[in-house]
Amino acid sequence: MKVVLENLTKTFPNRKKGLPDVTAVDNFSFEIPDGQLIGLLGPSGCGKSTTLNLICGLIQPTSGKLWFGDDDVTYLPPEVRGVGMVFQNYALYPHLTVEKNIMFPLGNLKGAEKLSKQEMKDRALEAAKLVQIENLMERKPSELSGGQQQRVAIARALVKLPRVLLLDEPLSNLDARLRLQTREEIRRIQQETKITTIFVTHDQEEAMSISDMIVVMAAGIIQQIGKPQDVYDNPVNLFVSKFLGTPPINVFEGTVKNETLYINNEKVLHVGGVEDKDVWVGIRPEGFVLKDDGALSCDLVTVEVMGRDISVVSTHPATVNASIRSIISSENHDTITGTKVRFDVKPSKVHLFDKETEERIYYK
Ligand code: ADP
Ligand code: MG
């Protein structure tokens, strides 16, 4: 089911008296193609949950429209939209077994849709198999691990065969290893069922790893939409460049003069077509090349061994980060000696941003 947001806006009265309204979702327009998994990504408070709640119908927009395929669902009540929703805190019924928890939404079906007890049991088993908890059907939620509880919640969201599946930070309560495993599970389930899915997270790695497309948000405003790799390689502004990537992008103060980029008077790169001005310079950790006479001269702090790669930690007077991290092939480990390291940079990994607007400045 294709989902279309058309100038969707939601404002709330400010929780603090006397302050202006909060625009939690500001004029969102985008289309989620049928059968895709979309990652809604942004820091806490940027409007991710509000967007999901608008899509599932728990809240109504201040203005704009929402479409599921050709159906205008903007003001449709949640129960007739055909959405399944999973929250961060699994929200299971503690006194019901796993099977009864999963079956619960089916009990509300009426008229022609009404199911017999056996049909409900069959459907619950099918959903349980999808998330691989069919052997836990008789347990109560308190007898399950966090990961298992979240699978029950996912099975419950799937049991009505929703047109759209919405997941609001579903992995945040799980420990690191389970988080990794469960996100792979979600991807597998999504690909098996082909249900259009919207996955909300503040964790860029999580969103990048499983999404067909990511929507990066900040303060209620869409910053960029695209395939994870494209957004990483081509951020439209400083915020997006900083939000994606671990270790994060290294940001320096720089100056462009005669189409040449200087960082602290060091001549770093030819930047064709850029007028003379001060800029923010973002350099990805993998954008540095160790070189004895490299353009950028940094003070070495430490070298962290990561196996295949090493992470060189250094400082530089023009960086706004506490330190610079460069990821270098471990074959080069031996060449690092003394207290200085010098780097050249890979042009495709260096992004310039306007000092005031923080918008990307493109160069040739
Ligand atoms: P996220 O899920 O990205 O952390 P939310 O969508 O929950 O962000 O919130 C976005 C903004 O809207 C925040 O500033 C939040 O305080 C505000 N907000 C959310 N719900 C309400 C509400 N019911 N009343 C007032 N303000 C709200
Ligand atoms: Mg939220």
Tell me, in angstroms, the distance from the centre of ligand 1 to residue 338's CA.
51
pLDDT tens, 143-173? 999 889 999 999 999 998 999 999 999 998 8
Tell me the C-alpha distance between 352 and 362, whole Å: 7
Nearest to 99 by CA among 152, 151, 144: 152
pLDDT of residue 29: 97
SS (H, E, C) 79-140: HHCCEEEECCCCCCCCCCCHHHHHHHHHHHCCHHHCCCHHHHHHHHHHHHHHCCCHHHCCCC
Residue 333 pLDDT greater than 80, yes or no: no
Domain assignments of the chain as residue spans, ordered by start? 3-242, 247-361
pLDDT tens, 102-116? 999 998 888 888 899
Mutate to test the pocket of ligand 1, among 25, 49, 53, 222 (most ligand atoms within 8 A of CB): 49
Q: How many helices (H) and strands (E) does the chain have?
A: 8, 21
Site of tokens 């919640």? 153
Tell me, in angstroms, the distance from the centre of ligand 1 to residue 244's CA.
23
pLDDT band at 204 (very low <50, low <70, confident <90, very high): very high
pLDDT tens, 113-151? 889 999 999 999 999 999 899 999 999 999 999 889 999
Tell me the C-alpha distance between 361 and 355, whole Å: 10
Site of tokens 């699994």? 90
**Ligand 1 pocket residue status of 44, Cβ below 6 Å:** yes
Ligand 1 atom 5: the closest Cα is on which residue?
47
What is the mean predicted confidence (pLDDT) over 65-85? Answer: 94
Ligand 1 atom 17: the closest Cα is on which residue?
24
**Ligand 1 pocket residue status of 24, Cβ below 6 Å:** yes
pLDDT of residue 173: 86
**Ligand 1 pocket residue status of 22, Cβ below 6 Å:** yes
Token pair recorded at residue 55: 């899509």
Tell me the C-alpha distance between 175 and 138, whole Å: 25
**Ligand 1 pocket residue status of 241, Cβ below 6 Å:** no
Query: 3-242: what fold?
Result: Rossmann fold (3.40.50)
pLDDT band at 70 (very low <50, low <70, confident <90, very high): very high
Helix 176-193 with 146-158: angle, nearest 10 deg:
20
What is the mean predicted confidence (pLDDT) over 49-73? Answer: 96
What is the mean predicted confidence (pLDDT) over 76-96? Answer: 92
What residues contact residue 119 under an 8 Å CB cut-off, 6+ apart? none
What is the mean predicted confidence (pLDDT) over 296-319? Answer: 93
pLDDT of residue 76: 95
pLDDT tens, 231-289? 999 999 999 999 999 999 999 999 999 999 999 999 999 999 999 999 999 999 999 99
pLDDT of residue 329: 85
pLDDT of residue 84: 94
**Ligand 1 pocket residue status of 16, Cβ below 6 Å:** no
Site of tokens 């990805």? 284
pLDDT of residue 129: 93
Per-residue CA distances from 282 to 234, 299, 342 (Å): 12, 18, 17
Considering the chain, what percentage of its residues have pLDDT values greater than 90?
85
What is the mean predicted confidence (pLDDT) over 300-316? Answer: 92
Token pair recorded at residue 332: 């080069």
Number of Cβ within 10 Å of residue 12's Cβ equals: 13
Residue ranges near ligand 2 (ion) with Cβ within 5 Å: 49
**Ligand 1 pocket residue status of 47, Cβ below 6 Å:** yes
